[in-house]
């Protein structure tokens, strides 16, 4: 059995594979028109005849929402609540934009249907479902060529009978249906409806994509899909609950960073994943940072997701001059086709082109020499833009990198400083194809003392996928408080969720001996509108006070504490790759690691810079900057103000010297 992790990005599709005891990596250009083409091409190249266990991170669901190319979706809800997805909350993302207009919702008004019937918050049926009206609505769905249906009735998490009845009626029409009590069994009808609608919108697209992959791989192969919460699920589950896969690629990178960082003794990390199209950052304070308050393209998603902040700054981000004459970088990207100028077809300057122009990319070693970069194409384009904004070409190239670095610095501040964390107390865990060229500069901007760059950083998201647990998340609204609910009663309430978790993981092929069940509570002070997630144990009340103090800077033990939701995380622990630490450390690098010298620009000055083959470096080796490490999946830049060392696991640790 060949184990393969696959991550589809905007520019490259990355693979890591294990055959027997041997590990290998592979990259090829993505195929944006049909991402499956690159995935299948790579699988055929790596293991054309062997049986394969595939874990895949996909951007199909994300792109379907961003590009508004999902299924034609209808909403069925209670009469009078048809427009809840349009009304939403009173939040304003662009408060001072007097001309702001909301984009039309993905479910148009003529596809929102209200049906008589009502369940109370206690679960009691107050008004029976109007079956005659339901039958009429379902006939209208057929006439409107609806491709998918979201069903969300008020308080269906307390009593789902009305939603189940609609599902029975829809089964006769063979229309895919998403039920809110299965997707998100929690109160707050707007967020629950939005999440269910998004699931209905992307599931047919994911069903087609995954179905195509399943039809092209061998019968003995298995396929799992990475979730946004840092765990994987079976392909069958992903086709039904596609909303859980929206950030699957970036999530794999954060999981890989956590596992590899812990192994090397670093468990306070800021992850920095710079790819070809965007940069994703997350904070790891001994564990994954999860959030229940994500959104994509303005639509709330209330399923557990790793707290990842994304900015449109990557290797392929395009540099431009705005109407005021200022230099801008991104969010538009050159992608895989046409790509940067140096790839041979592009005609707009990108971050990758700027790095190459300054000598920080080594053309003959890009992708291990398998993809030639055309440095000779750059000069005319840089001369033309530099003249336009009255800079030298060298100043322009460094300006492009500075603007990109500033955007990424702001992103890191969002997930650290703005949430009460000091970046100086963390290590910057840098990966992605372009991360190694920018990590040291970002660390200096943020006063972060160290940058951690793992082996094969360009494919870490794929590595994280094969290191990820199989994870199932469950939740249920209970609305209790510390006066009317004991720890014993809460334990009883978890039992049904735990039975469901064990059953679902068994269906994923995980034995009970490899299952870990983790209990959490959503808690708040009485009168508050939002909750904190607290691990459930006998000290859950005092834990809540402490977490409230840490999060908001105060606590009030005289206030009544409410328990709003219970949460269960069922984790299936698969066999994971193990890495051996080197027994001997040697400070002086071997001669064969040095490939020569190049002239490289740093701060408008030309520096003679050593070029090193990373795979020839040994544990314990130290190299002072300026230096450039080349490897198959990435390039690492060690500026003059930094020094690099190789730890016992082969990771590069860059120490900022000033």
What are the residue boundaries of the structural domains of the chain, listed by start?
A: 66-206, 317-403, 470-572, 591-656
Could you read off the pLDDT of 115-142 as tens digits, one per residue? 999 999 999 999 999 999 999 999 999 8
Q: Is 122 exposed, middle or buried (0-12, 13-18, 19+ CB in 10 A)?
A: exposed
Q: Which residue has the higher pLDDT, 370 or 161?
A: 161
- Predicted local confidence at residue 268, as pLDDT: 95
Alpha carbon distance 477, 590 (integer Å): 61
- Predicted local confidence at residue 258, as pLDDT: 93
- Predicted local confidence at residue 63, as pLDDT: 80
Q: Mean pLDDT across the stretch 67-84?
A: 93
Question: Collapsing DSSP states into helix, strand and coil, what is residue 229?
Answer: coil
- Predicted local confidence at residue 617, as pLDDT: 94
Lowest mean pLDDT segment, chosen from 71-85, 335-349, 448-462, 484-498: 335-349
pLDDT surpasses 80 at 340:
yes
Residues 6+ apart with CB under 8 A from 485: 478, 563
Residues 6+ apart with CB under 8 A from 497: 474, 476, 566, 568
pLDDT band with cut points at 50, 70 and 90 for residue 578: confident
- Predicted local confidence at residue 460, as pLDDT: 87
Alpha carbon distance 589, 618 (integer Å): 7
pLDDT surpasses 80 at 621:
yes
Could you read off the pLDDT of 486-536 as tens digits, one per residue? 999 999 999 999 999 999 999 888 889 999 999 999 999 999 988 999 999
pLDDT band with cut points at 50, 70 and 90 for residue 623: very high
Q: Mean pLDDT across the stretch 609-637?
A: 93
Residues 6+ apart with CB under 8 A from 422: 416
pLDDT surpasses 90 at 461:
no
Helix (H) or strand (E) holding 572: strand 561-572
CB of 568 closer than 8 Å to CB of 519: yes
- Predicted local confidence at residue 606, as pLDDT: 95
Q: Which residue has the higher pLDDT, 468 or 92?
A: 468
> What pTM, to 2 d.p., does this model score?
0.86
CB of 423 closer than 8 Å to CB of 656: no
- Predicted local confidence at residue 64, as pLDDT: 85
Q: Which residue has the higher pLDDT, 150 or 278?
A: 150
CA gyration radius, the chain: 26
Neighbours of 12 (CB within 10 A): 25
pLDDT band with cut points at 50, 70 and 90 for residue 411: very high
CB of 416 closer than 8 Å to CB of 283: yes
Neighbours of 449 (CB within 10 A): 15
List the Cα angle 22/23/25 in 5-degree steps: 145
536 token code pair: 């459930």
Q: Which residue has the higher pLDDT, 586 or 113?
A: 113
Residues 6+ apart with CB under 8 A from 219: none
Alpha carbon distance 274, 311 (integer Å): 10
pLDDT surpasses 90 at 103:
no
Helix (H) or strand (E) holding 135: helix 131-143
Q: Mean pLDDT across the stretch 89-105?
A: 83
Alpha carbon distance 572, 615 (integer Å): 34
pLDDT surpasses 90 at 358:
yes
List the Cα angle 223/204/37 in 5-degree steps: 50
134 token code pair: 């339901």
Q: Mean pLDDT across the stretch 584-594?
A: 91
Alpha carbon distance 117, 132 (integer Å): 11
Alpha carbon distance 66, 474 (integer Å): 27
pLDDT band with cut points at 50, 70 and 90 for residue 224: very high
Which position has the token pair 């909403």? 75
DSSP state letter for 468? P
- Predicted local confidence at residue 585, as pLDDT: 86
Buried b (16+ CB within 10 A) or exposed e, 424-445: eebbbbbbbbbbbbbbbbbbbb
Q: Which of 337, 216, 228, 242 is nearest to 293 (CA)?
A: 228
- Predicted local confidence at residue 628, as pLDDT: 96
Q: Which of 416, 399, 376 is nearest to 320 (CA)?
A: 399
- Predicted local confidence at residue 323, as pLDDT: 82
**Domain spanning 470-572, CATH architecture:** 2-Layer Sandwich (3.30)
Length in residues, the chain:
658
pLDDT surpasses 80 at 412:
yes
CB of 313 closer than 8 Å to CB of 344: no
Alpha carbon distance 242, 436 (integer Å): 32
pLDDT surpasses 90 at 100:
no
pLDDT surpasses 80 at 576:
no
pLDDT surpasses 80 at 370:
no
Provide the mean pLDDT of the chain.
91
Q: Could you write out the three-class secondary structure of 532-550?
A: EEEECCCCHHHHHHHHHHH
- Predicted local confidence at residue 331, as pLDDT: 83
Alpha carbon distance 94, 101 (integer Å): 10
Alpha carbon distance 509, 517 (integer Å): 16
Could you read off the pLDDT of 11-46 as tens digits, one per residue? 788 898 988 878 888 888 888 788 899 999 999 999
**Omega cis (within 30) before 553:** no
In sequence order, which ranges of 430-486 are alpha helices (DSSP H)? 435-446, 460-467
CB of 579 closer than 8 Å to CB of 263: yes
- Predicted local confidence at residue 287, as pLDDT: 87
Give me the CATH topology for the region 66-206: Dna Topoisomerase Vi A Subunit; Chain: A, domain 2 (3.40.1360)
Which position has the token pair 């494919």? 459
Which position has the token pair 């969720």? 497
Helix (H) or strand (E) holding 643: strand 642-646
Question: Collapsing DSSP states into helix, strand and coil, what is residue 332?
Answer: strand
């Amino acid at each position: 059995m060949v184990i393969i992790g696959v991550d589809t990005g905007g520019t490259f599709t990355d693979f890591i594979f294990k055959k027997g005891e041997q590990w290998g990596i592979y990259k090829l250009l993505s195929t944006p028109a049909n991402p499956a083409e690159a995935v299948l091409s790579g699988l055929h190249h790596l293991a054309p005849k062997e049986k394969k266990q595939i874990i895949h991170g996909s951007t199909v669901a994300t792109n379907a929402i961003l590009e508004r190319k999902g299924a034609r979706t209808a909403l069925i809800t209670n009469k009078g609540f048809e427009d809840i997805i349009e009304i939403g909350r009173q939040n304003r993302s662009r408060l001072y934009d007097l001309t702001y207009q909301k984009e039309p919702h993905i479910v148009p008004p003529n596809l929102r249907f209200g049906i008589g019937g009502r369940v109370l918050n206690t679960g009691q049926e107050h008004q029976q479902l109007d079956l005659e009206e339901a039958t009429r609505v379902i006939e209208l769905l057929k006439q409107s060529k609806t491709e998918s249906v979201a069903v969300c009735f008020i308080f269906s998490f307390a009593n789902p009978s009305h939603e189940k009845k609609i599902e029975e009626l829809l089964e006769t029409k063979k229309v895919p249906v998403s039920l809110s009590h299965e997707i998100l069994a929690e109160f707050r009808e707007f967020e629950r409806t939005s999440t269910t609608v998004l699931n209905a919108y992307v599931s047919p697209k994911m069903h087609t994509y995954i179905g195509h992959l399943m039809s092209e791989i061998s019968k003995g192969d298995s396929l799992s899909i990475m979730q946004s919460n840092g765990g994987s699920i079976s392909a069958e589950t992903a086709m039904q609950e596609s909303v859980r896969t929206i950030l699957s690629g970036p999530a794999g990178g954060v999981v890989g960073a956590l596992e590899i960082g812990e192994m090397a003794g670093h468990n306070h990390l800021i992850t920095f994943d710079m790819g070809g199209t965007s940069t994703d950052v997350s904070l790891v304070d001994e564990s994954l940072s999860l959030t229940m308050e994500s959104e994509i393209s303005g639509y709330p998603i209330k399923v557990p997701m790793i707290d990842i902040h994304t900015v449109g700054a990557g290797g392929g981000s395009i540099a431009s001059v705005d109407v005021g004459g200022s230099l801008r970088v991104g969010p538009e990207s050159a992608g895989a086709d046409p790509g940067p100028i140096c790839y041979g077809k592009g005609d707009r300057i990108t971050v990758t082109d700027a790095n190459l122009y300054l000598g920080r990319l080594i053309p003959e070693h890009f992708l291990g020499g398998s993809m030639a970069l055309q440095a000779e194409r750059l000069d005319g384009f840089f001369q033309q833009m530099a003249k336009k904004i009255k800079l030298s070409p060298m100043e322009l190239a460094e300006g492009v990198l500075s603007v990109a670095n500033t955007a990424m610095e702001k992103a890191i501040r969002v997930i650290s400083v703005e949430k009460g964390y000091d970046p100086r107390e963390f290590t910057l865990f840098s990966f992605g194809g372009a991360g190694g060229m920018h990590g040291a500069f970002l660390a200096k901007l943020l006063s972060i003392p160290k940058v951690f760059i793992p082996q094969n950083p360009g494919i870490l998201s794929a590595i994280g996928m094969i290191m990820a647990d199989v994870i199932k998340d469950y939740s249920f609204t209970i609305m209790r408080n510390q006066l009317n609910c004991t720890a014993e009663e809460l334990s009883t309430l978890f039992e049904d969720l735990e039975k469901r978790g064990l059953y679902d993981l068994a269906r994923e092929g995980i034995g009970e001996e490899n299952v870990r069940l983790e209990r959490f509570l959503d808690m708040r002070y009485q009168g508050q509108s939002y909750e904190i997630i607290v691990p459930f144990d006998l000290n859950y009340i005092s834990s809540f006070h402490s977490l409230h103090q840490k999060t908001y800077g105060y606590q009030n033990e005289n206030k009544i504490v409410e328990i709003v939701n219970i949460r269960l995380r069922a984790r299936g622990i698969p066999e994971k790759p193990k890495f051996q630490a080197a027994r001997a450390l040697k400070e002086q690098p071997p001669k064969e690691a040095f490939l020569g010298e190049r002239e490289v620009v740093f701060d408008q000055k030309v520096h003679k810079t050593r070029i090193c083959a990373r795979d020839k470096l040994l544990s314990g080796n130290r190299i002072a900057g300026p230096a450039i490490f080349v490897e198959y999946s990435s390039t690492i830049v060690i500026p003059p103000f930094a020094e690099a060392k190789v730890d016992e696991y082969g990771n590069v640790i860059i120490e900022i010297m000033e």
